[in-house]
Amino acid sequence: MSTYDKYQTPLSTRYASQEMMTIFSARERASTWRQLWVWLAEAEKELGLPIPDEAIEQMRANVIVSDKAFAVARDYEAKFRHDVMAHVHAFGEDAPAAAGHIHLGATSCYVTDNADLIFIKRALDLILPKLAKVIQNLQEFALKYKDMPTLGFTHYQPAQLITVGKRAAQWIQELMMDLEDIETVRERLQFRGAQGTTGSQATFLELFNGDASKIVKLNEILCKKAGFPSTFAISTQTYTRKVDLRVANAVCALGATAERICSDIRHLANLKEMEEPFEKSQIGSSAMAYKRNPMRSERITALGRKLARLPANFTATFETQWFERTLDDSAIRRMDIPEMFLLADSILLALDNVTNGLVIYPNVIRSRIDQELPFMATESILMKLAQHGVSRQEAHEEIRVLSHQASDVVKQQGGRNDLLERIKKTEFFKPVWDEIDSLVDPKLFIGNSPKIVEDYCNGEVAAKLAKYKESLATASTAQLSI
């Protein structure tokens, strides 16, 4: 049957990277199970159990699961209705000298849970530098445009001016929070190790004739082989699903950040102030040939919406685990854990592309400022008039009347804001006519925005990105084929 006749997730066919898809592929999962069985046998032999060298050699030689082995495992699973035992038997056929030693003392979660932790660690290690790359893109953008005035918005209504770079710095700060949270869960990730069927280590205690110190050593060996600092102090049949929830809370928050940033970009595209990259031959609309739809930002928004809501699943899975373990976590985790990382990966690939090629239209930005700045400048005009001995209350009334007239031109007649021209023609304001133009330079209204951007981007952000210097030096901007 052709792949075109079966459902495939768009995350794997359109959006995510090959590296992330490989981590959660069937071959990687089954091969990691085999690697865990090899490590267990090696460690048990090192601690004195009578496992033949030939058995371990055959296991090592057959770690990668072949297509034939998958077929064998499928047949066994149809018979046993147990996927782990199916792969134990399939591995035994590939490594017959080890058939009686594979999975010795272990429960199914020795391979399933430890493998999941390995995949989570590898996936976190894959997305962290990608997130750092997006932050670096925006850092460069923010510094480039730290001085360019633009309208700020509160309630999506024009407010005091900021700069284009200042707005980007806000995006950076939110992404930095995600980076720090993901780093934290990565640093705190531990291994399940070999803990027995309920976490009591009873089977291993029996294997080692009551020598508990060998169980400690066993897990130290396994942690070293798998690249983990230690095991969780307490396990049941599984590692606690609170770990999955903790990881999800950090990773999935990236979805909310991405959705927020790209919503801003989409609004700015509508205002014609900023656009995402648009290729020469790209089609914006099948019907309206002139359109330049922000489709990449819309894609990120959609993926971000999905990712941001996944923690509810992880919460439910954690809170409904009974006592030492129930199996209602299995099917949903097979979907949720890979999907979480495929979503995050897809978002970061697209965000890298968008933030590396943002296009700014300075003339449009200035024209929009010119529509609003006259109103903002009236307070400065009031102060100047007061310095010339004019009553502040009288000046306030004169400006109020002229402002409403100018507002009527804009809102009722569709004209431009002519408040300053009205002020220049009104005799009351003659004392400050010569100063009016100097009072409406947009850079007088951006406050401390340039310094805020410089201090943040060259300080905290630069310090954080230094940790990713090597990966950023070799990173290239994502090219989106679809």
Residue 434 contacts residue 151 (beta carbons within 8 Å) = no
Name the E strands within 273-329.
274-275
H/E segment holding residue 187:
helix 164-188
Contacts of 203 (CB under 8 A, 6+ apart): 105, 106, 107, 196, 197
Catalytic residues: 155, 285
Of 364, 367, 369, the C-alpha closest to 152 is 369
Q: What is the DSSP letter of 477?
A: P
Instruction: Label residues 239-252 b or e (16+ Cβ within 10 Å = b).
Output: bbbebbbbbbebbb
Which residues on neighbouring strands pair with residue 50, listed in sequence order? none
- Cβ pair 193, 187 in contact under 8 A: no
Can you say whether residue 236 is alpha, beta or left, with left for phi > 0 and alpha for psi between -120 and 50 degrees?
beta
Q: What angle do CA 392, 398, 404 make, to 5 degrees?
A: 130
- Residue 271 to residue 221: CA distance in whole angstroms: 60
d(C-alpha 103, C-alpha 468), whole Å? 39
The encoded tokens of residue 120 equal: 């989570």
Provide the terminal-to-terminal Cα distance of the chain, rounded to the nearest Å: 25
- Which amino acid type is present at position 282? Q
Which amino acid, 419? L
CA 107 to chain centre: 34
Residues 35 and 68: beta-carbon distance below 8 Å: no
Between the CA atoms of 271, 276, 279 and 282, what dihedral angle is there, to the nearest 10 degrees? -60
CA distance 430 to 390: 11
